[in-house]
Amino acid sequence: MPLAITESADLSALNSFGVAARARRLITLTDEADAPEAIDQLQSAPASLLLGAGSNLLFTRDVDGTVLKVSLAGRRVLDAIDGGRLGNAQVLVEAAAGEPWHDFVLWTLAQGLSGLENLALIPGSVGAAPVQNIGAYGVELSEHLHSVRALSLDDGRPCEFAAADCGLGYRDSRFRSSAGPSRWLILSVRFALSRKPRPRLHYPDLQTAFPPTAPPPSPLDIAHAVCAIRRRKLPNPAELGNAGSFFRNPVVDAIHAARLTANHPGLPVYRDPATPQLAKLPAGWLIEQCGWKGARRGDAGVHTQHALVLVNYGRARGSDIAALAADIQASVIERFGVRLEPEVVFV
């Protein structure tokens, strides 16, 4: 089958901000056998981009090159493989990169497998999940990632990365290079899940939903609670364009954090016992203190309930949202001496 190619493609429905942008060429990859040919096409284009569901991207202008939309489908349980090393209660599952993340999570729960329930309703595709090591409600993908199968964008070479080789960190991985776009096309991802649930309820919203005195919830109960909390708290991109948290929570050295809390006693500080010399600060709190919550400039704005979520009220351009983000960064530096790094990928 020839590759599905669209010239001068409209990308506005392919990004959750809903901003207008076009690509010189859009290739939709639905069959893994076509991946080498798709990579050839990317190599011959001056600028190229891998696209999942577009829920963590900001198009600041048109793409003068090729966009490869990864729409590979398929998921399966691989019980027997690796069973010895993982132990009896652990099960390997695999999903193709284009599978919608939330559907995949629900499917794992329907197989009686737990581990991903706290990550329910995160928008996007399976293939992008390792790219920024998605996380929510006290769980990160890294805790359940087994391996990633990918092709090199440089020479088409296949590679399987064990989780330990994926460079996973807080909203970070080797597939999200700060030096430039990732050089790997992720084809499929494997997860190590469990038949014995281990509820992770330490996150405050989940403690409220499931008080310690109540019987332990099932993984599906937890997923439903997470969905309800997310629907209550986060704007739905289908109704209000956004890409979730726009910035990462900044990590500063402990001395800087101590100075900040002396001047701003209300500042929440998160410490990890494993790295006592560092402290994580809530980006949303810093932005809110600078007066940005609910701010609006034309159709680009800061959500009224969440200072960390930038929104498109309708016709904002990506460059409008980027300019707003730059002004937010400048005021947080001026007031707190802290640089906010975008979580969203600028294109």
Ligand X SMILES: Cc1cc2nc3c(=O)[nH]c(=O)nc-3n(C[C@H](O)[C@H](O)[C@H](O)COP(=O)(O)OP(=O)(O)OC[C@H]3O[C@@H](n4cnc5c(N)ncnc54)[C@H](O)[C@@H]3O)c2cc1C
Q: Which residues are catalytic?
A: 171, 245, 343
CA–CA dist 90, 93 (Å, integer): 10
Percentages helix, strand, coil for the chain (3-state, rounded to 5) are 25, 30, 45
CA–CA dist 58, 71 (Å, integer): 20
Between CA 302 and CA 284, with CA 248 as vertex, the angle to 5 degrees is 40
Closer residue to ligand X (CB): 40 or 79: 40
Task: Please state the closest distance from residue 176 (CB atom) to ligand X, in A.
Answer: 6
Phi, psi of 263 (to 5 degrees): -85, -25
Task: Please state the closest distance from residue 245 (CB atom) to ligand X, in A.
Answer: 6
CA–CA dist 173, 286 (Å, integer): 25
Closer residue to ligand X (CB): 23 or 136: 136
Task: Please state the closest distance from residue 68 (CB atom) to ligand X, in A.
Answer: 8
Phi, psi of 174 (to 5 degrees): -70, -15
Contacts of 147 (CB under 8 A, 6+ apart): 160, 161, 162, 163, 189, 190
Of all helices (H) and strands (E), which one includes residue 50?
A: strand 48-51
Where along the sequence are the contacts to ligand X (CB under 6 A)? 16, 49-57, 70, 97, 122-125, 127-129, 131-132, 134-136, 175, 182, 184-186, 234, 237, 242-244, 345
Closer residue to ligand X (CB): 57 or 328: 57
Q: Which residue is listed with tokens 């901003």?
A: 19
Phi, psi of 96 (to 5 degrees): -75, 155
Task: Please state the closest distance from residue 69 (CB atom) to ligand X, in A.
Answer: 8
Whether residue 245 contacts residue 342, with contact meaning beta carbons closer than 8 Å, is answered with no
CA–CA dist 197, 109 (Å, integer): 10
Task: Please state the closest distance from residue 220 (CB atom) to ligand X, in A.
Answer: 19
Task: Please state the closest distance from residue 77 (CB atom) to ligand X, in A.
Answer: 21
Closer residue to ligand X (CB): 123 or 284: 123
Closer residue to ligand X (CB): 42 or 97: 97
Phi, psi of 231 (to 5 degrees): -65, -35
Task: Please state the closest distance from residue 329 (CB atom) to ligand X, in A.
Answer: 19
Whether residue 206 contacts residue 89, with contact meaning beta carbons closer than 8 Å, is answered with no
Specify which residues 63 forms β-bridges with: 23
Closer residue to ligand X (CB): 237 or 342: 237
Question: How many alpha carbons fall within 13 Å on the CB side of residue 293?
Answer: 11
